[in-house]
Amino acid sequence: MTPHVLTRSLDRSATIFILIVAGLGVLIPLSNLLLPAGSALQVPTYLVALFGKYACYAILALSIDLIWGYCGILSLGHGAFFALGGYAMGMYLMRQIGSRGVYGNPILPDFMVFLNYPKLPWYWHGFDMFWFAALMVLLVPGLLAFCFGWLAFRSRVTGVYLSIITQAMTYALLLAFFRNDFGFGGNNGLTDFKDILGFNVQADGTRAALFALSCLALILTFLICRAVVTSKLGKVLIAIRDAESRTRFLGYRVESYKLFVFTLSACMAGVAGALYVPQVGIINPSEFAPGNSIEAVIWVAVGGRGTLVGAALGAVVVNYAKTFFTSGPLAPYWLFMLGALFILVTLLLPKGIIGTFNAWRESRKATEAANAESAALEDGVGEPKPAE
Amino acid sequence: MSANFLDRFRAVLLAILLAACFAVPALAGPFEDAVAKFANDDFSDTDEAIGAVATSGNPLAFPIISALQDGRLSADPDTKQVFVTGADGKIIDAATGAAVDKLPDNAAAVRLNNRLRRAVEAALGGLTLLSPDPAKRIAAAQSVFKSHDENALPVIDGALAKETNKAVKAAFAEARAAILLYKSDATELEKLEAVAVIKARGDQEALALLTGLGSDVPPNVARIAASAIASIQSDLQMWSMVQNAWYGLSLGSVLLLAAIGLAITFGVMGVINMAHGEMVMIGAYTTFVVQEVIRTRYPDLFDYSLLIAVPLAFLVAGAIGVLIERGIIRFLYGRPLETLLATWGLSLVLQQAVRTMFGPTNREVGNPSWMSGAFELGQITITYNRLWILCFTLAVFVILLAMLRYTALGLEMRAVTQNRRMAASMGIATSRVDALTFGLGSGIAGIAGVALSQIDNVSPNLGQSYIIDSFMVVVFGGVGNLWGTLVGAFTLGIANKFLEPVAGAVLGKIAILVLIILFIQKRPRGLFALKGRAVEA
Amino acid sequence: MLTKLTHDIATLSRRHWLAATAGLVLGLAAFSNAKAQETIKVGVLHSLSGTMAISETTLKDTILFLIDEQNKKGGVMGKKLEAVVVDPASNWPLFAEKARELITKDKVSVVFGCWTSVSRKSVLPVFKELNSILFYPVQYEGEESERNVFYTGAAPNQQAIPAVDYLMKDEKVKRWVLAGTDYVYPRTTNKILEAYLKSKGVKQEDIMINYTPFGHSDWQTIVADIKKFGSAGKKTAVVSTINGDANVPFYKELGNQGIKATDIPVVAFSVGEEELAGIDTKPLLGHLAAWNYFQSIKSPENEKFIKAWQAYTKNPKRVTNDPMEAHVIGFDMWVKAVEKVKSTDPDKVIDALPGIEAKNLTGGTSKMLPNHHITKPVFIGEIKANGQFDVVWKTPGLVAGDAWSKELEGSKDLIGDWVGKKCGNYNTKTNKCGGQGS
């Protein structure tokens, strides 16, 4: 069964994608760690951290593409799942600080000490264990998505209504996490991490390992998405995307399919967030900002909705553009560039980068086929051999 | 009230009495010395000077004190000369009253702080208790009510006897009651009557006066006062419900104004226009530009600045809307979700463009005089700007409704909203309707910006703070239905304002969002869903 | 044949990928090596877009202006200064990314930047890890003393407590509304103030604490509540730690509901000349602000600075404010420290900075303390009709910034001392570095 799923889900571009990500995931850490600093081929640590961040964004983009590109659920609140995963990891990292915080309190994180928390709130218990935090990374976003999806899909909330209420969800969470009384550090969020599983988060080796891990997670997520979309389940999802009522009338329980894929996608976003936090060193409520979720949807659109490789590529391209434009002499104008990029991609490349590329390849294939056909035809015409 | 203030007040009233009884001519020496103290640039010296000048009985006292209040009193620190610049620009020497051609170069306005400003107000209050202007007499009576200084009693009694104006009379009576309540040698009967008068006034000032009453009053008075406090409090409790309702209406009108343009574009075209907030911002900046031009060129027209800004903002934002539609959205028909992405990009560009053009900081947009201040309705305060915004919003709503109902364009828009393909086959140029609809929606967002500039920041981020709320309103009310938007906006506004005192501003807002999410489960198409026969309509 | 074509494209795209990545890496490396030794680079890490651009853009201009002035004087140690400006776009993870980029890619010697506490918290690990220097110019909640950060803005004892003292003594305020935006700075400041007020005998029922979300724009209910709270027969004042954007609608509502400064004064810690530039200040006459600098303060240094600044920005109306002055002081201190040790090496500069003195713009001399905070005078200003402040009170001398508040339970025994103890959170009770040490 497994080999079958693998061969089915791995077409050429998927293989290429996996090879590239795996290659980068191995080569960049090696180059960073083994080559001497300053040598031309050495990847500086800050680039490792940067690429690690892109990899996490790529996972988030994949999770959005899975529901939007293949099931037509446009979630404008996926950043919420990403941030929840991040918070779960952040809470683990906070507990790992132990008595090394500025106040030296062995149990309470710093922000709780100066806001006079008498004891650890109940929902912080257990996060000192990695397995528990890792479980929560999947469970919290998954559970939220499950409850939210169960309500929404059962009542057949679709289209813009769904998009707007997902936005309301992330906005409500944003406001809630901003509240200091909520017990997650308010606006300052969780920061000043020291260790992850006993390794110093700031050490080059840890960074390289986290990057490699992010690449691995990206590959795994990609494989899961491929497996889903190439299976029979994937066909039903596409049917739902293209004609929801018709699918329902054919006897499929549309809401169950949607709920499954929505929850799966939320778990993936949670994993992305969990990998993101130790690499950027902070998680704060602004990750819940509705704008962030919208931007993540735009990555998918730029790369190509409905093509998994495109989603990941879009995340990297847009974020690289952001990194590039926000420094140097262009810094004051980067929003113009980014805005223009979004407008131009939607206008000129409606299928995104990969989608357009695929279409171009298809059309070349088609013309070639047509050429071959007409050539064959001409050959046929050119050789009118009367039967003898 | 500081003790200082009371002393000053007592002294002022005494001086008025003296002046009234004996018409003592001004004494040159002490008055001039007092005036010279204004030049020391020291708050306690200025304080003494105010007291001395106000009690001097000198005819220059009133001009000096009122000039001090308005920042028209200036002093030369070297020569210790003090000057009054009249409201008409004429300058006189404060000590002598002699006309002066121009201020010395190093003359600076005499500075005040809050404490001195209170002293000035008290001094002016004393000087205006017998003013010919009834409004000033009421203001003076109010300051006596607050200070409840017993030295004012004879003046008040005298004034009360002569007073013919009903409102002023009531104010004097209240002031008198306040004095009697706190006067140690007033009879119990007088005090009981006073409590009744103050209870009848029934506002927060009255409450403050009654709660501030010490324990040294007769037990009867204390008992009656306690029951008066309870009754005022329960009254105020009721009024606070009314007040919450008013705040809710006002918040609702702001939400409606921000959302109404979106309801049109969203309803007719199904476009998630993320740049809608930026249209609001452009309207606000148009107001800023109009006011700048008026400030520099035609300062007299300032009160009309908003009236000029409304059509301009409509045109500017509307024109930009049509441009956007023609330039971008036109190419995205049939792909409504992609307009979300393009308009999001557009909103980034517009924000940064405004930031580059006008700078990142807030811009000042002033309130015209008819939108400043507040009036009391019963025990609630209604600010003029909120009231006007409510009226303005309703007017916009009615006009829009009429337009949709009675004009050809409105008919076409409704047709396109209800069934685009059918409308097209009936010969309606849907693409023209789309362009005009988008322009109309944007234009209305622009005039929303004019109104919002009166209560909020005018900064490049203005639009972003309204976009999510606007979408909530439209979706809650039901896409494609203006009445839904109206009801949605006011429901959310009022619910928010009733939740806020209970849960606090943040939790209140979170609760509203959760309620919207749950509500949409119940009615997936909003409050007023368009009725159609398609499965997915 | 078709398979061959796709194979070609695949190999092509793979080659492209590798080429692009290699090119990127090489390009960045080459860029960072170019003209490394000619200038001293100064990083500027202030948001130029997003919600914080409203406050931070001015600070970027200030640093560019200061660098320009310094270069006119011949630079530092004979080398010209070169500004490296990045835009962290009010996005906190981006702050960390950009800080890392400035330090490792651009090799800046020092960074001037950040406004919000969260942005500082976000870059803090980066500065510690890469051992660089950050000058932070904004008043903040305190409770921090890091080796790599120099805090030139006010700590709570340099702003909040003197302001409350003034109101208590001069205005005889008996009842207090502590209104703030719900984030760490107001929370901590209000906590400190609450403890302080109670130590002065103010009862719990005379303190009202209120928090609002960021960018709160509908102030009707809260202003009405303040009015109600203020009508209890005792003199009432509002201590506002309301942040940036929310201030304009708050003051507009105050003005419209007719709350005058003579009735209920509002003293603000986050409202300066820049913020007032967006409001019609006539109804706000007499409301207060507490800062360590006001544009209206008369001193030769200030007048010279304002003139040069307005000439540099080519805007005769351009205002100055407190965080700008903090940058002026911080920049001057950094220049002096670098010239003292004749090096931009972070370790040497960090060790040299405590004890360095620099003239502030209000006529005094500020000094960098061992806890990396500075001494500052405290001024209380009343808002004037022209959008400026009129100083009505000031501390007799300079106030030393406390990194750790004496009023908070968790931090009352802590001190920061990077000179003697080499520790930011030294516990004077247990004589150990590292917080409570329990």
Say if residue C315 is exposed, middle or buried (CB neighbours under 10 Å; 0-12, 13-18, 19+).
exposed
pLDDT band (50, 70, 90) for residue C18: very low
pLDDT at C338 over 80: yes
Chain B contact for C225 (CB, 8 A cutoff): yes
Structure-token match 């009054």, residue found: B84
The Cα C92–Cα B410 span in angstroms is 47
Buried b (16+ CB within 10 A) or exposed e, A303-312: bbbbbbbbbb
Total length of chain C: 438
Residue B373's identity, in one-letter code, is G
pLDDT confidence of residue C381: 93
Of B266, B513, B524, the CB nearest to A157: B524
CB A340 within 8 A of CB B341: no
- φ/ψ (deg, to 5) at A293: -65, -40
What percent of chain B clears pLDDT 70, i.e. is strictly above it?
92
Q: Do B349 and A350 touch (CB under 8 A)?
A: no
pLDDT confidence of residue A331: 76
Q: Which residue of A has its CA nearest to B526?
A: A161
Touching partners of A (3+ C-beta pairs < 8 Å): B, C
pLDDT band (50, 70, 90) for residue B336: low
Please provide the distance, in angstroms rounded to a whole number, between the alpha carbons at the two ends of chain A: 56
pLDDT confidence of residue A157: 87
The Cα B54–Cα A271 span in angstroms is 75
pLDDT confidence of residue C13: 45
Of A294, A340, A350, the CB nearest to B335: A350
Q: Is there a domain that residue B363 lies in?
A: yes
pLDDT confidence of residue C35: 44
Which of B404, B431, B465 corresponds to the end of one domain? B465
Which of B104, B128, B152 corresponds to the end of one domain? B128
Chain B contact for C255 (CB, 8 A cutoff): yes
pLDDT at B270 over 80: no
Contacts of A76 (CB under 8 A, 6+ apart): A163, A164, A166, A167, A170, A290, A293, A294, A297
pLDDT confidence of residue C28: 45
pLDDT confidence of residue A352: 85
Of C25, C410, C437, the CB nearest to A43: C25
Q: Do A103 and C118 touch (CB under 8 A)?
A: no
- Least confident interval from B157-166, B341-350, C300-309: B157-166
Q: Do A102 and C143 touch (CB under 8 A)?
A: yes
Q: Do B361 and C277 touch (CB under 8 A)?
A: yes
pLDDT confidence of residue B209: 82
> C44 vs chain A: nearest CA distance in angstroms?
10
3-class DSSP assignment, residue B100: strand
What percent of chain C clears pLDDT 90, i.e. is strictly above it?
55
pLDDT at C262 over 50: yes
pLDDT at A366 over 60: yes
Of A148, A171, A333, the CB nearest to B468: A171
B165-214 pLDDT, tens digit per residue, is 888 888 888 888 888 888 878 888 888 888 888 888 888 888 888 887 77
A149-159 pLDDT, tens digit per residue, is 999 999 888 88
Q: Is there a domain that residue B405 lies in?
A: yes
Q: Provide the CB-side half-sphere exposure for C142 (13 A, CA).
A: 35
CB C127 within 8 A of CB C87: no
Average pLDDT for chain C: 87
Q: Which residue of A has its CA nearest to B327?
A: A347
Q: Is there a domain that residue B243 lies in?
A: no
> Residue A19: its chain C contacts at CB < 8 A?
14
Q: Is there a domain that residue B473 lies in?
A: no
Contacts of A301 (CB under 8 A, 6+ apart): A314, A345, A346, A352, B338, B341
pLDDT confidence of residue B14: 54
- φ/ψ (deg, to 5) at C40: -100, 125
Which has the higher per-residue pLDDT, B218 or A388?
Answer: B218
Say how many C-beta atoms besides its own lie within 10 A of residue A177's C-beta: 25
Which has the higher per-residue pLDDT, B309 or B109?
Answer: B309
- φ/ψ (deg, to 5) at A190: -110, 130
The alpha carbon of residue A355 and the mean position of all alpha carbons in its chain are separated, in whole angstroms, by 18
The Cα B415–Cα C84 span in angstroms is 57
pLDDT confidence of residue A5: 59
Q: Which residue of C has its CA nearest to B465?
A: C215
For residues B434 and B295, state if they share a domain.
Answer: yes
pLDDT confidence of residue A224: 95
> A87 vs chain C: nearest CA distance in angstroms?
14
Domains along the sequence of chain C with CATH: 39-154+298-377 (3.40.50.2300), 160-268 (3.40.50.2300)
Average pLDDT for chain B: 84
Average pLDDT for chain A: 88
Q: Provide the token pair at A135.
A: 């479980």
Q: Do A178 and B335 touch (CB under 8 A)?
A: no
> Residue B355: its chain C contacts at CB < 8 A?
49, 53
Calculate mean pLDDT across residues B54-63.
79
- Give the number of domains in chain B: 2
Domain range for B105 is 3-128
pLDDT band (50, 70, 90) for residue A4: low
Calculate mean pLDDT across residues C295-308.
94
Of C2, C118, C126, the CB nearest to A189: C118
Residue B150's identity, in one-letter code, is E
Q: Provide the token pair at A89.
A: 């990891």
CB A337 within 8 A of CB A353: no
pLDDT band (50, 70, 90) for residue B515: very high
pLDDT at C77 over 70: yes
The Cα B120–Cα C402 span in angstroms is 39
The Cα A308–Cα A14 span in angstroms is 8
The Cα B502–Cα B499 span in angstroms is 5
Calculate mean pLDDT across residues C93-118.
92
Q: Do B517 and A165 touch (CB under 8 A)?
A: yes
Of A19, A280, A331, the CB nearest to C85: A331
> B530 vs chain A: nearest CA distance in angstroms?
14
Q: Is there a domain that residue B453 lies in?
A: yes
Please provide the distance, in angstroms rounded to a whole number, between the alpha carbons at the two ends of chain C: 75
Q: Residue ranges of the alpha helices (H) in A35-155?
A: 45-71, 78-97, 110-114, 130-154
A107-151 pLDDT, tens digit per residue, is 888 888 877 888 899 999 999 999 999 999 999 999 999 999 999
Q: Do C86 and A327 touch (CB under 8 A)?
A: yes
Q: Is there a domain that residue B404 lies in?
A: yes
pLDDT at B135 over 70: yes
> A334 vs chain B: nearest CA distance in angstroms?
9
Q: Provide the token pair at C417.
A: 């001392």
C388-419 pLDDT, tens digit per residue, is 999 999 998 899 999 998 888 878 888 999 99
A118 DSSP 8-state letter: S
The Cα A329–Cα C127 span in angstroms is 24
CB A284 within 8 A of CB C90: no
Q: Residue ranges of the alpha helices (H) in C131-219?
A: 160-170, 184-199
Q: Do C275 and B362 touch (CB under 8 A)?
A: yes
Q: Provide the token pair at B128.
A: 């205006």
Closest CA to B146 of B114, B117, B116, B182: B182
Give strand pairing partners of C43: C84, C111
> Residue C28: its chain A contacts at CB < 8 A?
44, 47
Please provide the distance, in angstroms rounded to a whole number, between the alpha carbons at the two ends of chain B: 66
Which has the higher per-residue pLDDT, B514 or A160?
Answer: B514
Q: Which residue of B has its CA nearest to C51?
A: B461
3-class DSSP assignment, residue C161: helix
Q: State ipTM.
A: 0.88
Q: Do C220 and B247 touch (CB under 8 A)?
A: yes
3-class DSSP assignment, residue A206: helix
pLDDT confidence of residue C26: 43
The Cα A332–Cα C345 span in angstroms is 30
Q: Which residue of B has its CA nearest to A296?
A: B341
Among B57-61, B458-462, C33-37, C358-362, name the most confident range: C358-362
Chain A contact for B161 (CB, 8 A cutoff): no
3-class DSSP assignment, residue A358: helix
Calculate mean pLDDT across residues B280-292.
95
> A332 vs chain C: nearest CA distance in angstroms?
6
Q: Is there a domain that residue B383 lies in?
A: yes
For residues B263 and B399, state if they share a domain.
Answer: yes
Q: Is there a domain that residue B50 lies in?
A: yes
Which has the higher per-residue pLDDT, C11 or B269?
Answer: B269
pLDDT at A9 over 80: no
Touching partners of C (3+ C-beta pairs < 8 Å): A, B
- Judged by CB atoms within 8 Å, which residues 254-293 of A form the interface with B? 290-291
> Residue B340: its chain A contacts at CB < 8 A?
294, 297
Give strand pairing partners of C366: C358
3-class DSSP assignment, residue C233: coil
Residue from A161, A169, A286 whose CB has the most chain B CBs within 10 Å, to mutate: A161
Give me the total of CB pairs closer than 8 Å, taking one residue from chain A and one from chain B: 125
CB B26 within 8 A of CB B90: no
A327-337 pLDDT, tens digit per residue, is 877 777 888 98
Closest CA to B328 of A340, A69, A74, A293: A340
Q: Which long-range contacts (C-beta less than 8 Å, at least 24 apart) are formed by C349-355?
A: C349/C109, C349/C110, C349/C133, C350/C133, C350/C147, C350/C148, C350/C418, C353/C150, C354/C418, C354/C419, C355/C419
Of C234, C280, C392, the CB nearest to B364: C280
pTM of the shown model: 0.87
The Cα C43–Cα B25 span in angstroms is 72
Say how many C-beta atoms besides its own lie within 10 A of residue A364's C-beta: 12
- Least confident interval from A58-67, A94-103, A264-273: A94-103
Calculate mean pLDDT across residues B472-491.
89
Calculate mean pLDDT across residues A273-300.
92
